Amino acid sequence: MAMMPRRVKHRKSQRRRIKGNATRGNTVVLGDYGLQSTQAGHITAQTIEAGRIAAQQYVRGIGKLYIRIFPHKSVTARPLETRMGKGKGEPDRWVATVKPGTVMYELKGVTEQQAKICFARLAHKMPVRCRFVRRRPELETTEA
């Protein structure tokens, strides 16, 4: 697999309901524009990689792409035609848990129109609804 952690503390994690909004990773920090999720869900490592390829093909040298999510959670699957019992099954794929408000991708060094086109291409590949966001202007601090 392209994206998966090198080591994990617990091999199999329990699947739970994704509750609440993102309190961390919900602002554009690294780039000028971002793609923010408006729904909760799981995004597989293959989907993250497909989004990266689609964005890189569009940006291609004029800007920088930042990926802000990483697939930390393993999803298990039992083999087909297996009887009941005998445990949970082996890890099948890796997913990133995304809450509403999580900034998934960021772009830097491109115009706003180019960023909107690029993120529209990316949003088609995502299994959750997304929106385009800009970086907030820094507050002016007075030095004494």
Instruction: Give the CATH number for residue 128.
Output: 3.90.1170.10
Task: Give 102-117 pLDDT, tens digit per residue.
Answer: 999 999 999 999 999 9
Domain that holds residue 55: 41-75+93-134
Distance separating the N- and C-terminal Cα atoms of the chain: 53
Residue 141 has what pLDDT?
63
The candidate with the shortest Cα–Cα distance to 104, out of 125, 83, 80, 130, is 130
Q: What's the pLDDT at 79?
A: 79
* Predicted confidence (pLDDT) per residue in 111-135, tens digit: 999 999 999 999 999 999 999 999 9
Number of domains in the chain: 1
Backbone φ and ψ of 46, nearest 5° = -65, -40
In a domain, 6, yes or no: no
Task: Please tell me the distance from the alpha carbon of residue 118 to that of residue 123, in angstroms, as a whole number.
Answer: 9
In DSSP terms, 130 is beta-bridged to 37
Is residue 138 over pLDDT 80? no
Q: Does a structural domain hold residue 19?
A: no
Measured between alpha carbons, how far is residue 30 from residues 20, 76, 118, 134 in Å?
A: 24, 33, 17, 11
- pLDDT at position 74, please? 87
Least confident of 8-12, 17-21, 56-60: 8-12
Please tell me which residue, 52 or 13, carries the higher pLDDT value: 52
Q: Is it the case that residue 12 has pLDDT exceeding 80?
A: no
For residue 108, tell me if it sits in a domain: yes
Q: Does 113 reside within a domain?
A: yes
- Asked whether residue 20 is assigned to any structural domain, the reply reads no
Q: DSSP code of 69?
A: -
Tell me, yes or no, whether 5 lies in a domain: no
CB distance 89 to 78 below 8 Å: yes
